[in-house]
Structures are given as C-alpha cells and as structure tokens.
Amino acid sequence: MKTTQRAWFVTGTDTGVGKTLVSAALLTALARSGRRVVGMKPVASGCDATLHGLRSADAEALSAASNVAVDYADINPYALSAPTAPHLAATTAGVHIDIGTIRTHYARLAARADDVVVEGIGGWLVPINRTQSMADVVRALELPVILVVGMRLGCLNHALLTQHAILASGCRLLAWVANTATGDRPEGYLEALTERLDAPCLGVLPALSSVALAADHHFFDLRVLGPSVKPT
C-alpha cells in the first residue's frame, strides 16, 4: 500500500474559538494512527520575543503535536509581534505577507509528511495585506476546509455566514468541529448546525478539553477526513 498525502486548512467562526486546540489535537490523533504529521501556522501575530527570534504560542503548540522534525520558519513563516490583525501587524513590522512565500514553506512541509494541518488566523476573511485575505491563502494551497465552531450564543449565525463565505471563495468545506470548551453549548445548537451545515461533523469536543483528551478517537471521527492509503 502507498501512503496518500493529505492536508487541511483549519479556520474558525471567530478568533478564540479553539482553532489551535483542534489543530494540535487532530495532529496528535493522526500521529497515533501511524501517520507522519506536521502543523503549519502561516501567519501569527502577537508573537513573543525569544532568544531564537519571534515565536508564536500557537505555532509552537502545532510543532509539539507534530512528529516530523522541520524548521520553525517553515511552520510559521510570518511571525509578527503586534497583537492585532495580521495585515496591521505586518504593516507595523514593515513586512509584506506574500502568498508565494507561504506556498514555498508549505511545499517543504508537505514533502516531509503524510498529513499537513494548516491553521489560519482569526476568521475566514481576515486580511493579510492590502488586497488579500486568508481565503486567498487557502485557494492558493488548494486545501479543503475544517471549520471550528465555538459553541456559544451567536455561533449559529457565525457558522452559517462562514460556510457561505467559504463556498463563495470557491473553497470546499470538508467538515466542522463543535468546540464546547469555549462556551456553554446552548441547547439545540448542535442539532441546528448539523441540519444546516453542508458538511459532516468531525467531532464534538467536551468542555475543559486538552490536546490529549481532544485527540481521543472517541471525539474525532477520522474517517471524515478520507482514506489514508491507496493501492500501489
């Protein structure tokens, strides 16, 4: 059997809905299943100054969940210090976020791993420069999308608007994750989203989830991601 190379883009209905938790947990679950996995955070703002340069806590969480050794610069090619929207943080730093550069780093990761999980920043249409958004990154990388929904008041509207934007961008919504760790899981919301989102639910994460707990196969149905092997 020959390993099939796969990759996904993880976006969220908003910032702070658990994209990093889901991305790192998904990497951990895939690694447990025997896959060579690596995470990527193309753009990160609010990074910390370290002896090794600017570092993103999100990118480091993805790196810790990966089982392939790669350079940090490939995981997080644009590390920005200002804790604000990426295009503003880039302007402050005198940096232009270039999708071609992101594609180059992504290709390096894809060449080393069976599966690549790419985590976005903010929501679907967050700007990365004067004319482009994260949606343009996803189109350039040709990745199917996993949507993380923080289960709290307002999430129905946010999830359905995000689905509409994903499809309008010419991208494919492959699956979605209900993250109850970010809210109170309002009664009936899970059922409402299941009925209205045009993609299967990859998992429902419980409150107080950690990466290890969320990675449990009881919470992720990895079959939703498609086959991992094919005949030679």
DSSP state at residue 229: E
Tell me the three-class secondary structure of 171-210, residue by residue.
Answer: CCEEEEEEEHHHCCCCCCHHHHHHHHCCCCEEEEECCCCC
Can 230 be counted among the known catalytic residues?
A: no
In Å, how far are 113, 133, 177 from 226, measured between CA atoms? Answer: 16, 27, 16
Residue tagged active-site, from 2, 19, 41, 230: 41
Chain centre to alpha carbon of residue 48:
20
Q: Which two tokens stand for residue 71?
A: 């350079």
Q: Give the integer Cα–Cα distance in Å for 73 and 59.
A: 10
What are residue 79's phi and psi, to 5 degrees?
-105, 120
Residues with catalytic roles: 41
